[in-house]
């Protein structure tokens, strides 16, 4: 199916141009998808390799214990893998979900707000065609009626009402049709390369690129919606001036032409502010992160911090002595200390000083053979009133 070319001539030139842009968007996106991941696409083997690598890395993390085998962790990854495989390998799924959400949903929302029967963009373009035709006819009639007789008279005449009307029509086209065409072409380019960025959503190192692509798609999907809604309100405010211009025929006053030019400038500035508001809406959007994701791909569940006892914290042999951050890294020591700590009240009830059982456990641990031999030697030396068997005895 061939699409219409960009031709603003005729009573419905803007409507035909926007209809041709929509047709070209769909054809370009379908062609790019077929070239990338179609039946004979250039990146089909690359997609298979990336999916295989993702599954292999996930299995390796499960085997080495870096990823916990939990339903809350594996379910999002399985859903991500399934969605990426579906949208990157099927144009029907990509068109029905991604294309309709990015292109069809904003137009449907604008249609509900405006109350039009068909497409809201085409309804707005029809209103713009009628207004631009009125301004162009009035400018042409005014230019023909007030044409100076010589070039010297042209130079001394300055700006005429027809010139101001042409400037007004140019600003109206630039702030409406120009914004719509640029936004639609940019959105088509983003949707054409969308499957590539969807594959990048699998890995944490490249997920930021997918998030940036998604935010850009959301921005340029909101631009036509904001343009149609703000433009419809602006044209409604400009309609009394256009009606007065049509009633004036070929002799509009300078006051009316200047007023229409000022209204067109305000309309263009309002459109620029609306685009900035749409950009602010999408700039603060962040995708949710999976549990345990973010640091080196380690998705082991982090244990909550356990309080250390006063004696255990003061013991020089334990990691908690001045190095609380190291104790947080060793989960087994932290669990041992937390489980063996006896509160001061319980220790006082047993008639003992409040002391951590961790110190008792550490002191009760079996000592190496060399240490035990040293203890026996010290006991023997104490009987002989010597401090150590290794101390040299002085001869009298």
- Helices (H) and strands (E) counted in the chain, each on its own, are 18, 0
Quick one: tokens of 183? 């936004």
Domain boundary among 244, 268, 283: 283
> 262 and 355, same structural domain?
no
Cα distance between residue 190 and residue 15, in whole Å = 23
Q: What angle do CA 262, 267, 269 make, to 5 degrees?
A: 95
Q: Which domain holds residue 331?
A: 310-383
Q: For the segment 24-47, what is each residue's pLDDT rounded down to a tens digit?
A: 898 999 999 888 887 777 888 888
Please give the full DSSP string across 328-342, using - where no structure is assigned. Answer: HH-HHHHHHHHHH--
Neighbour tally for 19: CB within 10 Å: 17
In this structure, is residue 224 part of a structural domain?
yes
Cα separations in angstroms, 300 against 67, 297, 309: 5, 9, 26
Query: Per the domain annotation, does 388 fall within a domain?
Result: no
Q: Do 342 and 241 have their domain in common?
A: no
Question: Which of 283, 298, 318 is the last residue in one of the domains?
Answer: 283
Q: Give how many domains the chain has, as a whole number.
A: 2
Nearest alpha carbon to residue 224 among 274, 267, 266? 274
Q: Does residue 44 sit in the same domain as residue 126?
A: yes
Per-residue pLDDT of the chain (396 residues; tens, 9 = 90+): 677 767 767 677 888 888 888 888 989 999 998 888 877 778 888 888 888 888 888 888 888 877 777 777 778 888 888 898 889 888 999 999 999 999 999 999 999 998 888 889 989 988 898 888 888 888 887 777 665 544 554 554 567 788 888 898 889 888 888 899 999 999 999 999 998 999 988 888 888 899 999 999 999 999 999 999 998 888 888 888 888 888 877 677 888 889 889 999 999 999 999 889 889 888 888 777 654 454 334 444 444 445 544 444 444 444 444 444 444 456 666 776 666 655 554 444 444 444 444 444 444 455 444 444 444 544 444 444 444 444 444 443
Q: What is the pLDDT of residues 74-125, one digit of tens each?
A: 788 888 888 988 898 889 999 999 999 999 999 999 999 988 888 899 899 8
Residue 296 lies in a domain: no
Angle between helices 120-145 and 13-37 (to 10 degrees): 140
Residue 303, in any domain of the structure: no
């Amino acid at each position: 199916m061939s699409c219409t070319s960009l031709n603003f001539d005729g009573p419905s030139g803007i409507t035909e141009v926007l209809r041709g842009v929509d047709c070209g968007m769909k054809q370009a996106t379908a062609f790019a998808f077929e070239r990338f991941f179609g039946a004979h696409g250039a990146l089909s083997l690359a997609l298979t390799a990336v999916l295989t690598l993702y599954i292999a890395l996930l299995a390796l993390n499960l085997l080495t214990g870096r990823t916990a085998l939990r339903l809350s962790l594996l379910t999002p990854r399985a859903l991500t893998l399934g969605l990426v495989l579906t949208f990157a390998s099927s144009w029907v799924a990509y068109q029905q979900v991604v294309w309709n959400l990015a292109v069809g949903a904003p137009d449907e929302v604008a249609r509900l707000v405006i109350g039009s029967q068909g497409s809201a963009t085409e309804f707005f373009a029809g209103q713009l065609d009628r207004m631009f035709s009125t301004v162009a006819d009035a400018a042409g009639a005014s230019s023909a009626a007030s044409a100076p007789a010589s070039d010297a008279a042209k130079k001394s005449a300055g700006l005429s009402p027809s010139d101001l009307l042409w400037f007004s029509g140019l600003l109206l086209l630039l702030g409406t049709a120009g914004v719509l065409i640029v936004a639609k072409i940019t959105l088509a380019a983003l949707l054409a390369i969308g499957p590539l960025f969807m594959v990048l959503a699998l890995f944490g190192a490249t997920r930021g690129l997918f998030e940036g692509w998604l935010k850009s798609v959301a921005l340029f999907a909101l631009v036509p919606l904001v343009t149609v809604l703000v433009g419809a309100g602006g044209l409604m405010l400009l309609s009394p001036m256009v009606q007065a211009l049509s009633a004036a025929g070929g002799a509009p006053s300078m006051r009316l032409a200047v007023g229409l030019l000022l209204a067109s400038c305000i309309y263009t500035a309002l459109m620029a502010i609306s685009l900035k508001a749409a950009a602010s809406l999408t700039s603060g959007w962040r995708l949710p992160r999976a549990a345990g994701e973010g640091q080196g791909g380690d998705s082991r569940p982090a244990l909550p911090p356990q309080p250390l006892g006063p004696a255990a914290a003061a013991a020089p042999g334990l990691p908690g002595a001045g190095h609380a951050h190291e104790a947080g890294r060793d989960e087994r020591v932290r669990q041992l200390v937390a489980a063996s700590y006896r509160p001061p009240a319980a220790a006082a009830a047993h008639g003992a000083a409040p002391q951590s059982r961790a110190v008792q456990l550490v002191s009760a641990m079996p000592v190496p053979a060399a240490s035990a031999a040293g203890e026996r030697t010290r006991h023997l030396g104490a009987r002989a009133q010597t401090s150590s068997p290794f101390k040299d005895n002085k001869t009298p």
